[in-house]
């Protein structure tokens, strides 16, 4: 029985092992294997440019282990003479693996005061040692090295070695402070004594040491402030500034900058100001140009490091110091640039604002001289070159632009404008140097542009006369700058027409646009004409209307594409501004000229020109002409546009954008039957937009390209939407593909694209009504669109209401379009979709009211309106969506009315703000008339 009982009992569970049980033996460790792996890991991570391990040990035994210094000295001498890289590798390896022994040996050699070559090389090796961030020197060695190093500094008498020795000791000093080894007051005292002493060599050592000191040195406020050492040093430095000794003066300059940077935390204003005056006084002495450039560059570095405390209240002094440098006769371009770097980075508009007339004139003269820093680069004459307008403009030119803008924006315009016009007229407009004339007329243009409707109006006649005179200049660059000035003056419409300057300008511009041998000038002349006509109107220049149109028609055949483009745009602009005048006098001639360019078998225009001509032709027919295409002409234009698009690459954005715009215009022409083109048109538009559906900001390096693609997609969406209604039967064959594209664009980053796509969805659904599709296909497409809109609604709601104004606008549009789509496609809405709609509406209403209540509670204390609250339009559109849905679906929506009413009851809570209660009442108002029995008790 016992055995039976035992056999029938369940097996005992194995107990968990205690890993700390002393009776359990741990598995044996393979220590040899571990060592091998560790060694291998170390070797893999070692610097391959150095020597390690046993190979380095034999060198260490030779140079470092014995007390004898001769072998190491011989190696240093050999390296100095031969630059043997294998020796230098050994030395660098010592700094990593034997830093204490190696540095100790080197300093012992230095203390012996060997010959100059050996001392110099020893100092360089110590610099390598102390500069090495991976060097592991112990604190005992660091402390022990202080006295020998200080001794070496004191006894050194070779000027050539001062700089390197000071750099090395500064690196060592930084180590001391990093390891908190009590600083090095003996060194600080010696440096101060050197600076304030009478010996030149000692002065040089002290100033160089001060320049190289790490910032940690100035943590010792007791030494620098309480003991008065800082003031001693500053006083002595000020003395060297006025010294005739150029070496000490240079060192005083550099040490002043170092002292300002290093001790800025506890420098008092009068001390900082004194040091800054030192710098400006030395710069004002000018001297050799190379030295002056270096000094101003050092000052610029200080400016860039300033946190606002160093130059506080000193902007004017620095500004005039730099202006005085730039005023020097025959000053180099480099010196102009470095001085204006300081002005630009330390600029304070108040400095310019408070200048007198004579001071403004001095600054203007400097600015014009800077603007004259250009060369006549051949690239400027290449109208097709991308950077032609900036060709030949030196860096100094752009500094002049900055200073000129500063005068125009910040100067007292009542003083500056008349002074500038007078100075330019008298001193520069007739100057023999074309560069100065170029700079002067550019300045006039900027003054006119920036001072629009200001004091410039009083002096307009004087400026316009000057510009008119310079239109006769023989230099192309000056003539171009003059045309740019005309573009600015064209804004002064009343003043132009009062003295008929617009006619006087045109009398000279029209001949230039036709016959000038410089292509660039022809282009800019057309641009200036365009600007004048745009502002004044073609009817105001009727005497030049025909010559201008004739010149533009001639330029349509120009060999340069840019001129052709500008001519087409100008013609189009004329037509827009004065349609009646253009229709009566120039319409037929212009359209015929455009036809010849595009359709003549001997004409070979490029894709862009073809697109521009076709688009202009369609535009003129629609907006200026009879808005009535002959069928044959319409067919030819439509076929040409579609064919032209097929020849373009996906990256020819401008031409594609123009083609899409032209197609949209011709589709909207009442006399054109688009049914026969719908298939080709839809395929072309889909092909043009498909590669860019994921319009990402980072995809386009050029903002202009991004804008063109955005415009093209928006225009394509508008064209699809229009064609879906006008040619609904033919278009319905493509509704599925176009709808899929529109829904995809709902997630685009561009607001304009999202807006265009969502606005077109109701028209796409409208085309389903006449589509030759099965009812299930129509229901499926309706479900797809409505669900996508509900998802977009949810996404916008989840943002938290709302990130910006654009989000609010888009949210309102989604609500409105969703209601229209439900209304349009009610016959294709099944029970499943009705439930999706009801859930989406309820979810949206709950979230909106929740956010409304939370935000309202947040602003109770401040009594300010919260910008992130839903707008009145948003709440109204939600109410309209509910009303439209209930009115459209009626009894089919009855199953979901209870949930809607339950939400509305919650919104009526007494402690809720007024807006949620009003919103709930609006829900009851639209629901009760149709479902009176659903009113909650």
pLDDT at 455 over 80: no
pLDDT of residue 274: 84
Reported as a single tens digit per residue, the pLDDT across 474-530 is: 999 999 999 999 999 988 888 888 888 888 998 899 888 887 678 888 888 888 988
Kindly report which listed range (60-64, 194-198, 418-422, 669-673) carries the lowest average pLDDT score.
Answer: 60-64
The two structure tokens encoding residue 826: 């009610």
Residue whose entry in the numeric block shows the structure tokens 């006649």: 461
Q: Name the more confident of 134 and 408.
A: 408
Percent of the chain's residues with pLDDT above 70: 87
- The whole-number average pLDDT for the span 619-637 is 81
- The whole-number average pLDDT for the span 739-748 is 90
pLDDT at 452 over 80: no
Reported as a single tens digit per residue, the pLDDT across 850-908 is: 777 776 666 554 444 444 545 667 778 888 888 888 888 888 888 877 777 777 777 77
Instruction: Specify whether the CB–CB gap between 674 and 723 falls below 8 A.
Output: yes
> From the CA atom positions of the chain, what is the Rg in Å?
42
pLDDT at 375 over 80: yes
DSSP 474: S
Q: Name the more confident of 224 and 194.
A: 194
pLDDT of residue 934: 63
Q: To the nearest whole number, what is the mean pLDDT of the chain?
A: 83
Indicate the burial class of 23 (C-beta count within 10 angstroms; 0-12, 13-18, 19 or more): exposed
Q: Name the more confident of 179 and 472.
A: 472
pLDDT at 59 over 50: yes
CB neighbours of residue 354 within 10 Å: 12
DSSP assignments along 432-446, one per residue: S-HHHHHHHHHHHHH
Q: What three-state secondary structure class fits 374?
A: strand
pLDDT of residue 714: 93
DSSP assignments along 502-564, one per residue: HHHHHHHHHHHHHH-S-HHHHHHHHHHHHHHHHHH-GGGGHHHHHHHHHHHHHHTT-SSHHHH
- DSSP H or E run through 224: none
With cut-offs at 50, 70 and 90, classify the pLDDT of residue 697: very low
Reported as a single tens digit per residue, the pLDDT across 528-577 is: 988 888 887 656 666 777 788 888 888 888 888 888 888 898 888 888 87
Q: Which among 411, 433, 410, 373 has a CA at the least distance from the CA of 419?
A: 411
Residue whose entry in the numeric block shows the structure tokens 């030192």: 278
Residue whose entry in the numeric block shows the structure tokens 């060694």: 39
The two structure tokens encoding residue 353: 């604002």
Q: Which among 534, 532, 508 has a CA at the least distance from the CA of 521?
A: 508
DSSP 46: S
Instruction: Specify whether the CB–CB gap between 634 and 672 falls below 8 A.
Output: yes
d(CA 575, CA 582): 6
Q: Which among 454, 549, 437, 523 has a CA at the least distance from the CA of 495?
A: 454
CB neighbours of residue 933 within 10 Å: 7
pLDDT of residue 65: 73
pLDDT of residue 10: 46
pLDDT at 619 over 50: yes
Q: Which among 511, 540, 541 has a CA at the least distance from the CA of 525?
A: 511
d(CA 147, CA 145): 6
Q: Which among 571, 591, 495 has a CA at the least distance from the CA of 529?
A: 571
pLDDT at 753 over 60: yes
Give strand ranges (E) for 551-708: none
pLDDT of residue 210: 92
DSSP assignments along 54-82, one per residue: HHHHHHHHHHTSSS--HHHHHHHHHHHHH
Q: What backbone torsions phi and psi does residue 633 show, to the nearest 5 degrees? A: -65, -45
Reported as a single tens digit per residue, the pLDDT across 69-118 is: 888 888 888 888 888 888 888 888 887 778 888 888 899 999 889 999 99
């Amino acid at each position: 029985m016992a055995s039976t009982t035992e056999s029938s009992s369940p097996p005992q569970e194995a107990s968990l092992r205690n890993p700390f049980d002393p009776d359990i033996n741990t598995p044996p460790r393979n220590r040899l294997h571990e060592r091998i792996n560790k060694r291998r890991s170390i070797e893999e991570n070692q610097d391959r440019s150095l020597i390690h391990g046993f190979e380095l040990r034999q060198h260490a035994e030779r140079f470092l282990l014995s007390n004898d210094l001769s072998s190491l000295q011989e190696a240093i001498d050999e390296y100095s003479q031969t630059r043997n890289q294998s020796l230098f590798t050994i030395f660098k390896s010592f700094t990593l693996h034997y830093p204490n022994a190696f540095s100790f040996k080197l300093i012992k050699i230095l203390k012996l005061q060997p010959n100059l070559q050996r001392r110099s090389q020893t100092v360089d090796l110590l610099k390598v040692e102390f500069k090495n961030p991976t060097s592991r020197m112990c604190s005992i060695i660091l402390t022990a090295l202080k006295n020998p190093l200080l001794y070496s500094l004191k006894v050194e008498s070779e000027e050539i070695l001062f700089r390197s020795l000071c750099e090395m000791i500064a690196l060592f000093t930084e180590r001391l402070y990093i390891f908190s080894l009590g600083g090095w007051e003996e060194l600080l005292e010696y440096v101060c004594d050197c600076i304030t002493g009478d010996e030149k060599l000692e002065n040089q050592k002290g100033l160089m040491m001060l320049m190289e000191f790490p910032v940690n040195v100035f943590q010792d406020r007791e030494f620098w402030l309480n003991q008065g050492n800082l003031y001693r040093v500053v006083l002595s430095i000020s003395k060297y500034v006025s010294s005739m000794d150029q070496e000490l003066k240079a060192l005083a300059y550099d040490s002043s900058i170092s002292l300002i940077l290093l001790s800025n935390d506890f420098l008092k204003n009068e001390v900082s100001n004194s040091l800054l005056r030192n710098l400006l006084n030395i710069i004002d002495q000018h001297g050799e140009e190379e030295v002056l450039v270096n000094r101003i560059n050092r000052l610029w570095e200080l400016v860039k490091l300033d946190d606002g405390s160093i130059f506080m209240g000193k902007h004017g002094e620095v500004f005039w110091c730099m202006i005085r440098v730039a005023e020097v006769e025959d000053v180099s371009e480099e010196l102009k640039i470095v001085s204006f770097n300081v002005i630009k980075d330390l600029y304070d508009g108040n400095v310019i604002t408070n200048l007198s007339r004579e001071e403004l004139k001095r600054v203007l003269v400097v600015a014009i001289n800077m603007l004259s820093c250009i060369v006549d680069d051949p690239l400027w004459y290449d109208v097709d070159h991308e950077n032609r307008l900036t060709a030949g403009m030196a860096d100094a030119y752009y500094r002049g632009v900055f200073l000129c803008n500063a005068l125009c924006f910040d100067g007292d315009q009542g003083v500056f404008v008349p002074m500038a016009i007078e100075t330019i007229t008298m001193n520069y407009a007739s100057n023999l140097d074309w560069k100065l004339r170029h700079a002067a007329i550019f300045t006039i243009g900027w003054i006119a542009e920036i001072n629009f409707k200001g004091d410039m109006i009083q002096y307009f006649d004087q400026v316009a006369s000057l510009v008119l005179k310079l239109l006769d200049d023989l230099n192309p660059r000056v003539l171009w700058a003059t045309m740019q000035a005309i573009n600015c003056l064209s804004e002064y419409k009343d003043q132009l027409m009062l003295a008929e300057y617009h006619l006087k300008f045109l009398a000279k511009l029209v001949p230039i646009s036709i016959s000038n041998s410089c292509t660039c000038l022809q282009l800019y002349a057309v641009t200036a004409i365009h600007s004048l006509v745009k502002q004044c109107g073609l009817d105001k220049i009727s005497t030049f209307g025909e010559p201008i149109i004739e010149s533009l028609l001639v330029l349509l055949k120009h060999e340069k594409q840019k001129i052709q483009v500008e001519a087409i745009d100008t013609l189009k602009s004329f037509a827009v501004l004065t349609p009646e005048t253009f229709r009566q006098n120039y319409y037929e001639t212009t359209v015929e000229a455009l036809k010849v360019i595009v359709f003549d078998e001997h004409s070979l225009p490029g894709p862009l020109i073809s697109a521009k001509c076709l688009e202009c032709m369609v535009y003129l027919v629609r907006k200026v002409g009879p808005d009535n295409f002959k069928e044959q002409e319409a067919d030819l234009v439509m076929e040409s546009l579609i064919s032209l698009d097929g020849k373009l690459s996906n990256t020819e954005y401008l031409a594609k954008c123009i083609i899409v715009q032209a197609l949209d215009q011709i589709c909207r022409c009442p006399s054109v039957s688009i049914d026969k083109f719908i298939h080709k048109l839809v395929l072309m538009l889909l092909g043009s937009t498909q590669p860019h559906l994921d319009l990402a900001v980072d995809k386009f390096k050029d903002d202009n390209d991004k804008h063109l693609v955005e415009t093209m997609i928006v225009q394509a969406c508008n064209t699809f939407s229009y064609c879906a209604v006008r040619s609904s039967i033919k278009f319905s064959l493509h509704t599925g593909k176009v709808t899929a594209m529109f829904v995809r664009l709902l997630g685009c980053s561009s607001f304009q694209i999202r807006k265009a796509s969502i606005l077109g969805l109701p028209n796409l659904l409208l085309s389903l009504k006449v589509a030759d599709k099965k009812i299930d296909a129509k229901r499926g497409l309706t479900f797809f669109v409505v669900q996508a809109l509900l998802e977009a609604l949810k996404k916008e709601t989840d943002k938290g209401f709302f990130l910006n104004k654009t989000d609010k606008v888009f949210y309102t549009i989604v609500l409105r379009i969703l209601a229209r789509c439900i209304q349009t496609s009610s016959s294709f809405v099944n029970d499943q979709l009705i439930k999706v709609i009801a859930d989406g509406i309820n979810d949206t209403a709950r979230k909106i009211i929740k956010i409304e209540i939370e935000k309202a509670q947040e602003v109770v204390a401040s009594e300010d309106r919260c910008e992130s609250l839903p707008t009145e339009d948003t709440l109204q559109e939600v109410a309209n969506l509910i009303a439209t849905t209930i009115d459209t679906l009626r009894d089919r929506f009855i199953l979901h009315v209870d949930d809607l009413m339950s939400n509305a009851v919650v919104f009526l809570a007494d402690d809720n703000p007024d807006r949620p209660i009003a919103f709930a009442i609006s829900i009851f108002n639209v629901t009760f008339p149709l479902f009176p029995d659903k009113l909650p008790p």
